[in-house]
């Protein structure tokens, strides 16, 4: 963590990889991560934590498998949504999108339970900014 302000635009400009989040700061035991996303992620669940999403640019769709059935939430720019712990979900971005995610430090991008990880998804707990 740095003791200087971090411009999110500069943080996002520092990398090109999709579905490969960068840690911009930490708050208590939580990472604040930014990522560039486009296309599909994978179905996964975080058994012990909620997952917070903020769309900075673009549009994010999140498929949810809930007890009542499957549904999709659509998050346009400036929208937030929290996926409850244990809920299977699959993010999808129909256009190039930039997101901010808040999760406990050490949380994997593919959760505790997941489908096979496709090559375009970085299975990580977040990368430091360059």
- pTM of the entire structure? 0.95
CA distance 114 to 50: 16
Q: What is the pLDDT of residues 44-98, one digit of tens each?
A: 999 999 999 999 999 999 999 999 999 999 999 999 999 999 999 999 999 999 9
CA distance 126 to 106: 8
Going along the chain from its start, the domains and CATH numbers come out as 8-106 (2.60.120.10)
Q: Nearest-CA neighbor of 41 among 106, 88, 104?
A: 88
Bridge partner residues of 97 (DSSP): 37
Is 95 exposed, middle or buried, given 0-12, 13-18 or 19+ CB atoms closer than 10 A?
Answer: exposed
């Amino acid at each position: 963590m740095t003791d200087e302000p971090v411009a999110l635009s500069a943080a996002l400009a520092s990398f090109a990889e999709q579905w490969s989040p960068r840690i911009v700061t930490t708050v208590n035991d939580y990472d604040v991560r930014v990522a560039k996303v486009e296309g599909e992620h994978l179905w996964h669940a975080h058994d012990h934590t909620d997952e917070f999403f903020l769309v900075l640019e673009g549009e994010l769709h999140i498929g949810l498998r809930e007890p009542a059935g499957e549904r999709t939430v659509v998050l346009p720019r400036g929208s937030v949504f929290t996926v409850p712990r244990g809920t299977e979900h699959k993010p999808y971005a129909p256009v190039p999108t930039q997101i901010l995610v808040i999760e406990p430090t050490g949380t994997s991008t593919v959760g505790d339970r997941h489908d096979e990880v496709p090559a375009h998804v970085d299975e990580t707990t977040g990368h430091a900014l360059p």
